[in-house]
Amino acid sequence: LRIPGSTHVIELFEYVPLEIVGHELAQLAPAGAALALTETLARVLAIGHARAPEIELVTRTGKRVWVDASYTRVLDPGGSSPGVWAVFRDVTEQRRLAAEKLSAERLALIGTMSAKFAHEIRNPLASILLNIELIEDVLKRRPAGAQEAPGEDEEIVELFAAEAATAV
């Protein structure tokens, strides 16, 4: 990295200037991400500028940070390119907040769906319980050994079965 006097890199990646100047940017990449950074830098050298809205990099102590990165090829007065100027903006907190918001939205959706399911189950169950109470009342009113009214029990049982079928 060619970043003389930049305190932002020092703060963000926890390096002192002499430790970072002249080193490859890929050393800041987590395992497996160095290739993507190398490709990005190749694109910068080819077209002059590139931006990576959210990439994960690693600090000196191993802490992972997410940055919005912008790279620009540096040209000297003779037109040759001695290096790349990289500007990193820490977006770790924004990513964390976005993840928390998404999690909260998912929990709210689960709560809404649970309430709807409970409502859809509660209605047929209430009707089933009412029909059970009707059967119980009919059986209690019937004198011992008396014949049932033609079709009355069957009608209540059919209503009970119909309500049970809608709950399934």
Asked whether the beta carbons of 53 and 68 are under 8 A apart, the reply is yes
Residue 165 to residue 24: CA distance in whole angstroms: 69
For residue 146, the model assigns a pLDDT of: 64
User: Residue 98: what residue type?
Assistant: A
Phi, psi for residue 57 in degrees, rounded to 5? -125, 170
**Which DSSP letter does residue 61 get?**
T
pLDDT along the chain (168 residues), means of 10: 45 74 70 73 84 82 86 83 80 91 94 89 79 77 66 70 67
Q: How far apart are CA 56 and CA 90, in angstroms?
A: 10
pLDDT score recorded for residue 1? 45
